[in-house]
Amino acid sequence: MHELRKDPILNRWVAVLKDSKPPHYYLGKDIDHVERDTDCNKCILCRGKEDKTPQEIFAIREIGTPPNTPNWQTRVVPKPNPIFQIEGDLGRRGIGMYDKMNSIGANEIIVESPSHDTHPEDSGITQMINVMTTYKNRVSELEKDPRFRYTFIYKDCGKTAGELYHHPHSQVIATPVIPKGIKEELDGAKAYYYYKERCIYCDILSEELRTEERIIMETKNIIAFSPFAPRLPFEFWIVPKRHTCAFQDIHDDEMEDLSLILMTTIKKMRNLFKNPSYNYVLHTAPNRMPRKDHWHTLGEDFHWHMEVTPHLVTKSGFEWDSEFYILTTSPEDAAKHLKEV
């Protein structure tokens, strides 16, 4: 038996199996496990190979060392063969009944570790804070370009998650339009705000703290929990307790808590499913400059957060097309397993 649940932000219904499958059910299937890889001969992201990448845009490095030299902890470089070009104008135009524009935007690689096979969550909290600080720098910097409407930071880890390199990295994409998936989330949150005059994410946090059924981990500033109606089994969200629409407005103590929670929950997920492929994405407010006047509610209706999705199952054509997802483990059980491991 399943029950249907509605995601309150996107108004998306999902079916949740009442008799949840335990973690070993997924291990018996075809999970793509991320293997160790110590052969870094061809890797261009390793420390010491700074001349193999385009010139660095930002780095957290030993004070006083020049750019593009080895003494860095995290490093940001333009993506080779980028999807979006940094130079040029948008050139929006019609062609027959259709619309086109130039692919103007930014496409960067954030190298998360100097070492080829050491993930930042295995290096300890300082390196996780370095990675999050790098994210903050990129969102803050890219917001200044008036051609960009949105900055998207994400990590693809493992083959079925679409990873580009084995070397630990995330990617930055700044786009000249707000991507459809993000716009729906903003619109959903705005609709709730107009109705309730409250942020929907703040309300979700209150509800989750009240029932405690889906909470995986909590610190003073940040909560990790399984959402009520997720897309994928064992999906979880990481949300700050303080209402803030934009990730770049994060405080230092929140940054420490975020790093701790992301590090711990990723290790829990890796532990439970023997290093599965996974994605995580940062959902933050659209770039606020120079369109501050268009951001009607001054950021009161949106709340930055991260969404983490392990790849444990194959989607059917029904799920892919209808966005009606079938969950073989309830979020309550997923949270319990992730909490306890």
CA dist 181 to 9, 150, 246, 303, Å? 12, 12, 17, 16
Distance CA 265, CA 263 (A): 6
Please give the single-letter amino acid code of residue 226. S
* CA distances to 81, 109, 133, 272, 291 from 148, in Å: 19, 18, 21, 39, 11
Residue 195's alpha-carbon distances to 113, 189, 228, 257, 300, in angstroms, are: 45, 10, 21, 32, 13
Nearer to a copy of itself, 1 or 63 (CB): 1
Q: Which residues pair with 283 in a beta bridge?
A: 305
Q: Closer CB to a copy of itself, residue 72 or residue 225? A: 225
- Rounded CA gap, 59 and 283, in Å? 23
Number of residues that bind a copy of itself (CB under 8 A): 67
The span from the CA of 82 to the CA of 86, in Å, is: 9
Closest contact distance (angstroms) between CB of 14 and a copy of itself is 10
Q: How far is the CB of 64 from a copy of itself (least distance, A)?
A: 35
User: Where in 86-145 is the site for a copy of itself (CB under 8 A)?
Assistant: 96-103
Instruction: Please state, in angstroms and rounded to a whole number, the distance separating the CA atoms of residues 314 and 12.
Output: 19
Strand 169-175 relative to strand 150-157, pairing:
antiparallel
Would you say 141 or 235 has its CB closer to a copy of itself? 235
Site map (CB under 8 A) of a copy of itself, residues 2-21, x = contact: xxxxx-x-xxxx-x------
Residues 6+ apart with CB under 8 A from 247: 135, 136, 139, 282, 284, 304
Least CB distance to a copy of itself at residue 139 (A)? 15
Nearest alpha-carbon partner for 111 in 82, 76, 142, 162: 76
Length of the chain: 341
Instruction: Pick out residues in 194-233 that bind a copy of itself (CB under 8 A).
Output: 203-204, 207, 210-211, 228-229
Nearer to a copy of itself, 77 or 204 (CB): 204
Provide the mask over 280-319, with x wherever binding to a copy of itself is found by CB under 8 A and - wherever it is not. Answer: xx-x-----------------------x-x----xxxxxx
The full DSSP string for 225-259 is E--SS-SSTT-EEEEESS--S-GGG--HHHHHHHH
Query: Which residue, 180 or 292, is less far from a copy of itself as judged by CB?
Result: 180
- CB 152 to a copy of itself: min, Å: 6
Binding segment (CB under 8 A) for a copy of itself, from list 122-130, 151-159, 252-260, 293-301: 151-159
Is 123 or 279 the residue whose CB approaches a copy of itself more closely?
279
Q: Single out the segment in contact with a copy of itself by CB under 8 A; choices: 77-85, 133-141, 217-225, 239-247.
A: 77-85
Separation of alpha carbons 56 and 36, rounded Å? 27
What is the closest distance, in whole angstroms, from the C-beta atom of residue 331 to a copy of itself in the complex?
A: 11
Cβ proximity to a copy of itself: between 102 and 219 the closer is 102
- Smallest distance from a copy of itself to CB 249, Å: 22
Cis before 290? omega within 30: yes
Told to check if 279 binds a copy of itself by CB under 8 A, we report yes
Of 161-190, which residues contact a copy of itself (CB under 8 A)? 161-162, 164, 171, 173, 175-177, 179-182
Question: x-or-dash pattern for a copy of itself, window 23-42, by CB under 8 A?
Answer: -------x------------
CA nearest 109: which of 68, 150, 154?
154
Q: Which residues bind a copy of itself (CB under 8 A)?
A: 1-6, 8, 10-13, 15, 30, 83-85, 96-103, 152, 154-156, 159-162, 164, 171, 173, 175-177, 179-182, 203-204, 207, 210-211, 228-229, 279-281, 283, 307, 309, 314-324, 326
